[in-house]
Structure 1
Amino acid sequence: MKILNNKKNTSKPYEKSTKDKIFDVSVDLFSKKGFDAVSMREIGREVGIRESSIYNHYKNKEAILDAIVNFFLSELEASSLPEEQMDELIATSPDMFFEIGAKTFIERMSTPKTEKIWRIISIEVFHNKKIRKFFVEELLETPLKSWEAIFTKMMEENLIKQYDPKILAREYFSYAIFLYFEYFILKYDTDYTSFMDLAWDKMADHAKFILDSIKIDSI
């Protein structure tokens, strides 16, 4: 005779820690109002705790912003293809490398949380020196150096024509910056589901244009 197992599932669903709630509420408020316009009292009220309780988790409001930037940086790093996979894709199919690399980055960096952080950066870059430094170093200089190295490797593999890799990196990456500017500043309130909706086809077309212009046709 089959015995039914009536034992109830007693495992509790995941519940955010207070620190996580403070983080998420801060991301939401900073993205809507800007860092300076949000008080610790307002954050506490939205979380449902006293303002003084926030200091058990974060030293001050600046520490919350630092945590947001560090989280964003970790997502940036996670959006990059592993070096071994990147080298294999470049050698096998530069077209596939551009497609998979761009898609991996856009999917990782266009979640609801990261889109709000993109917006925070867009607001704060104008008057927050720390955010401006982060933008220049991590969102401009580092990607350009990475793309310069990628184009150099493609030339070494005799996959593309010989050209100044710095210029190729700038020409490729500048379009990504344009898409960022278009979505997060000019058209932020437009009814797009996500940055992915706006960026993917445009970035794919741009990558194809660049690659078609510089790749060496097989004989």
Structure 2
Amino acid sequence: MISTREKILNESLDLFAAKGYHGTSMREIAKAVGIKGSSIYNHFSGKEDIFSELFNYLAPLNLESEKFQEKFMAADTDPLKVLNYFANIVIEEMQDNNKVKLLKMMLRENNNPVVKKRLQSRMKNNIERITKFFAQLQQQGKIKSNLEPAFTANEFVSALIYYRMRYLLFELDSFEELKEATQKHICFFWENIREK
């Protein structure tokens, strides 16, 4: 049996996806759930609280998590394997309908202060982690010594974001094309940064 809290999250996600974060009211969420408008506040303090919980569960991958830190910062890291691991997670996220709904909404509403703040924070943290990964590879002599780790991290991520936007927002590619482009990017990128 789904709890009222879960129903609120599910209905909010659908409404956010259909009408946007800004265009959805707490009253509409309560109505979709089938509860009184005031009852929703027994579960969440407001729309931002609902969005925060959805973001925590569904937002793009969080490289601050322990599992990613272990994978990225292991001393015996196989760089190509790690880059492929990262790319595969990005691809897998595109098969989760709820993640896709939230990502589409966030990309469309990236100027909304609530959405923007969350996206900026996640992006900043992820770039910092990837920068550390490339700095470590450089110290180990696995990538070219003349590369700037922060620039390398941004270059790596920017193509992945571009392919996701082509798939999510502009619907220019099929899922298979997204997958193929992502894998080609990894191979091309690694060939151009690795120490030969």
TM-score normalised per structure 1: 0.77
Aligned equivalent of 2:3:
17
The number of equivalent residue pairs is: 195
Q: Which runs of at least 4 in structure 1 moved beyond 6 Å after TM superposition?
A: none
CA RMSD across the alignment: 2.6
**Among 128, 138, 141, which residue is 2:122 paired with?**
138
User: Secondary structure of 2:42's match?
Assistant: coil
Do residues 150 (structure 1) and 133 (structure 2) align? yes
Given candidates 52, 58, 73, the residue that maps to 2:38 is: 52
Map of 2:180 onto structure 1: 201
Greater Rg, structure 1 or structure 2? 1
Shift of 1:183: 2.4
Aligned identity (percent) is 27
The match for 1:94 among 32, 55, 79 is 79
- In the alignment, structure 2 segments of 5+ residues that lack a partner are none
In 2, the alpha carbon distance for the partners of 1:178 and 1:79 equals 24
- Which amino acid is 1:174 matched to? S
SS of 1:26's equivalent in the other structure is helix
Correspondence 1:43-122 to 2 at 5 A? 43-72=29-58, 76-77=62-63, 81-88=67-74, 91-108=76-93, 110-122=95-107
SS in 1 for 2:76: helix
- Check the 8 A contact 1:80/1:104 in 2, yes or no: no
Aligned partner of 1:125 in structure 2 is: 110
Taking the aligned partners of 2:109 and 2:181, their CA distance within structure 1 comes to: 27
Identify the match of residue 175 of structure 1 among 153, 159, 182: 159
Match for residue 193 of structure 2? Answer: 214
Shift of 1:75: 5.6
Mapping for residues 24-39 of structure 1, pairs under 5 Å = 24-39=10-25
Question: What's the secondary structure of 1:145's corresponding residue?
Answer: helix
Inter-CA distance 208–79: structure 2 relative to 1 (3 Å threshold): farther
1:166 aligns to 2:150 (yes or no): yes
